[in-house]
Amino acid sequence: MAQMPQRRAGTGQRLFLDTPVTYLKGVGPARADALRRLGIITAGDLLFHVPHRYEDASTISPISALEPGMQGTMIGTVISKGVIPTRKGLRIFQAVLRDESGMMEVSWPGQPFLDRTINKGDALLVTGTVRFFHGRQFQPREFVNLGDDADTAAGRVLSVYPATEGLSFKLLRTIIETHLDALLPQLEEYLPGDVLRAAGVPGIADALRMVHRPATLDEAMRGRSRLAFEELFFVQLLHQRARELARVHRSGISFVNRRALTSRLRESLPFQLTAAQVRSVREIFADMCSDRRMQRLLQGDVGSGKTIVALFAALLAIENGYQAAIMAPTELLAEQHARTMTQLLAPLGIAPILLTGSLPARERRAIAERLASSEPVLVVGTHALLEQTTTFAKLGFAAIDEQHRFGVEQRKALGAKGEMPDVLLMSATPIPRSLALTLYGDLDLSLLDERPPGRQPVTTGLRRESSRARVFQFVERQIAAGRQAYVVYPVIEESEKSDLKAATTMYDVLSSGPFAGRRLALLHGRVPADERDAIMRRFRDGEIDVLVATTVIEVGIDVPNATVMLIEHPERFGLSQLHQLRGRVGRGADESFCILLGDVSPDAAARLQVFARTEDGFEIAREDLRIRGMGDLFGERQSGVPTFRIADPLRDEALNERARAAAESLLEHDPGLEQPSHAGLRRVLGERYARSLELFRVG
Ligand code: ADP
Ligand code: MG
């Protein structure tokens, strides 16, 4: 490829933030490609490619001082290396490192490819544990290849950058280090001064110097706090602006609390509402009676009683002469809601309508006609509610149960069915309030953080492989006593790559072994939806004793007679996921059990013990977040949920609070960010968040 040396920023030539990296000294087309893969196009982008971790080289031990059993960090030069095959077919990369005090063998099982990137003479910084194995051997946890650069590392904090194929960490560090001093002074602060002061974080140039070239770990963390803060602050600005616009532009129906149907429901309920339910109903009623449109998220653990809260809201709409719709992700859940509501509403003389795709066409037409008339009805249904042929004459309230099971567009579609109906989203992923406000900041939030009284705790225990037979005997005794059981596996089919037990094979094993003569069924993601519903229905009606399944078991499904949740390979599930599964039992009068079966690592066992100890979904979610990070909490990434590069809204809870307060006071004074002093802020918002274009009309 043709090169243009005359345009390169060599020594003495001025380098700007917007200079393309291809013009940097030492960056050819191949490296520019690699940089682009990391999202680095301009010299300025380099500044924002911040280290993902640090090695504190000031705590490095001489190799001779590392004793077996110790954890430590060392720097040594590779004096020999090679790949060693083992009898089990595993290939191990081994290197011998030497420093002034001695030598140590380091071994990387299963990583023969390291042979290509680690060379004799390279200095490695390695963190890990020393163990005894043919003499002292080092088990690395992490390492950094310093190349021929051992000296620069000694005695200071080493920045480690996310690298990529064709661009080693060391090269990146060199490129960034070379240009840091030329670039930093060109950066203009874009956060307003009072925001910085209120947050107590450094300015941008200082912060970037601290993260790239810290004197101490503390300093690196201080620099990081600025970058985390600004991420949280930006998201808060967008959320709060979106909410404000919604308030201004989306006026809604002003319902009147007539205390007709709603009071009668409260009197006829077979139980008392929990304080959290009362509070949520009050918050929802306040929204519905105001002249702006409700967009509220009702969050509560499994079994916290969200359905009844939605029912109160629906009745408020109906007693005002409006229609109400409640949408659930599956036919089964819709049926269950319809059944519960039919019972609860019988004393009031109201019969909810059930609308699902499997109704005969004639019945669907009849229902469609009722909805198209202005009869104030309550309809419970599936996606069928969204179909074009379903039109509402007077929809005043729409609730979406298990909202994460629907796409953003579907959630919007139900709300678009009427003239600005009030909308309630319901979710069973319990997350702390501050985090919820960050993730769903453009919604108002009601929390059901309390369980209805009288619910039996689920006895939870971890059992080893050696008790397998006894565990299944126990389950069999439950079935003999007339109860039902779920047995859950992490995968559908066995594969050569793993030795995980799979639902399909274990279904055969269990049918002919421990549960011979019992009625079993198999349920997983590849079973067609209508068949899945049919199986769940049979399980609900007691026609199946043991349901062998993957995690597809319906969230929210209520089978009070099921008393056992047996989960194999429990270490393969997130704690929140286990919690959802456990929520399937303990719904009736009989004692229920959640059994985690398998030999797991000590780490996994500790994690599972946390789960076994508590049934508090919020505590479990916190633990899950601590261990696995944000991405896993929902099983998969939810669309519309902001992602963070540096901040961790949970760990950075205090920063997040400050970001929220700062965004609030800024928008109070300058709601559209139109003051000249906020021009920098507008520019950066526009560059980083596409959403800001619509919210602030940036650019
Ligand atoms: P979820 O929040 O998981 O959707 P549900 O609304 O399905 O929970 O409620 C779970 C069960 O608890 C239902 O059987 C419901 O009737 C019952 N329930 C709800 N609120 C109360 C209450 N305040 N006291 C006793 N039982 C309640
Ligand atoms: Mg529910």
Q: Is 363 helix (H, G, I), strand (E, B) or coil?
A: helix
What average pLDDT score do residues 439-458 get?
A: 83
Q: Which atom of ligand 1 is nearest to the CA of 308?
A: 6
Higher-pLDDT residue of 167, 237: 237
Protein residue with its CA nearest to atom 25 in ligand 1: 452
pLDDT tens track for 282-304: 999 999 999 888 989 999 988 88
Interatomic CA distance for residues 695 and 306, integer angstroms: 32
- 333 C-alpha to ligand 1 centroid (Å): 14
Q: Ligand 2 being an ion, which residues bring their Cβ within 5 A of it?
A: 556
Confidence of residue 10 (pLDDT cuts 50, 70, 90): very low
pLDDT tens track for 397-420: 999 998 877 877 888 888 888 888
Interatomic CA distance for residues 558 and 386, integer angstroms: 25
pLDDT tens track for 503-540: 999 999 999 999 999 999 999 988 887 888 889 999 99
41 Rama sector, left if φ>0, alpha if ψ -120 to 50, beta otherwise: alpha
Higher-pLDDT residue of 229, 53: 229
Residue-level pLDDT at 639: 46
pLDDT tens track for 27-37: 888 999 999 99
Higher-pLDDT residue of 220, 10: 220
Protein residue with its CA nearest to atom 26 in ligand 1: 452
CB atoms within 10 A of CB 105: 15
pLDDT at 353 over 60: yes
Protein residue with its CA nearest to atom 19 in ligand 1: 305
pLDDT tens track for 58-84: 678 899 888 887 788 888 999 999 998
Domains 55-160 and 458-628 in one fold: no
Residue-level pLDDT at 266: 94
Q: How far is CA 27 from CA 5, 144, 165, 383, in A?
A: 11, 22, 15, 53
Residue-level pLDDT at 554: 65
pLDDT at 634 over 50: no
Q: Which atom of ligand 1 is nearest to the CA of 272?
A: 23
pTM greater than the 0.85 cutoff: no
Q: Which atom of ligand 1 is nearest to the CA of 448?
A: 2
Q: CATH 2.40.50.140: does it fit domain 55-160?
A: yes
- Three-class secondary structure assignment of 251-309: ECCCCCCCCCHHHHHHHHCCCCCCHHHHHHHHHHHHHHHCCECCEEEEEECCCCCHHHH
Q: Can you identify the CATH homologous superfamily of domain 262-448? A: P-loop containing nucleotide triphosphate hydrolases (3.40.50.300)
- Domain spans, the chain: 1-52+179-188, 55-160, 262-448, 458-628
Residue type, position 399, single letter: A
Residue-level pLDDT at 637: 42
Residue-level pLDDT at 636: 40
What average pLDDT score do residues 123-139 get?
A: 81
pLDDT at 588 over 80: yes
Pocket of ligand 1 (CB under 6 A): 271-274, 277, 300, 302-308, 428, 452, 556
Range in 49-58, 151-160, 414-423, 442-451 the model is least confident about:
151-160
**In testing the pocket of ligand 1, which one of 268, 269, 271 has its CB within 8 Å of the most ligand atoms?**
271
Average pLDDT, the chain: 87
pLDDT at 273 over 90: yes
Q: Which atom of ligand 1 is nearest to the CA of 556?
A: 3
Range in 86-100, 425-439, 594-608, 661-675 the model is least confident about:
425-439
Q: How far is CA 321 from CA 162, 255, 314, 397, in A?
A: 59, 10, 11, 11
**In testing the pocket of ligand 1, which one of 298, 307, 335, 456 has its CB within 8 Å of the most ligand atoms?**
307
- 254 C-alpha to ligand 2 centroid (Å): 27
What average pLDDT score do residues 555-581 get?
A: 89
Percent of the chain predicted with pLDDT > 70: 93
Decide which of 3.40.50.300, 2.30.33.40, 3.40.30.10, 3.40.190.10 is the CATH code for 458-628: 3.40.50.300
Range in 249-263, 601-615, 617-631 the model is least confident about:
617-631
Interatomic CA distance for residues 442 and 242, integer angstroms: 6
Interatomic CA distance for residues 500 and 598, integer angstroms: 11
- 307 C-alpha to ligand 2 centroid (Å): 6
Residue in 454, 452, 450 with CA at minimum distance from that of residue 276: 450
pLDDT at 307 over 70: yes
Confidence of residue 147 (pLDDT cuts 50, 70, 90): confident
pLDDT tens track for 326-346: 999 988 889 989 999 999 999
Percent of the chain predicted with pLDDT > 90: 53
Higher-pLDDT residue of 650, 310: 310
pLDDT at 640 over 60: no
233 φ/ψ angles, rounded to the nearest 5 degrees: -65, -45
Q: Which atom of ligand 1 is nearest to the CA of 558?
A: 7
Residue 449 near residue 436, CB atoms below 8 Å: no
Residue-level pLDDT at 1: 37
Residue-level pLDDT at 654: 86
pLDDT at 186 over 80: yes
Residue 288 near residue 422, CB atoms below 8 Å: yes
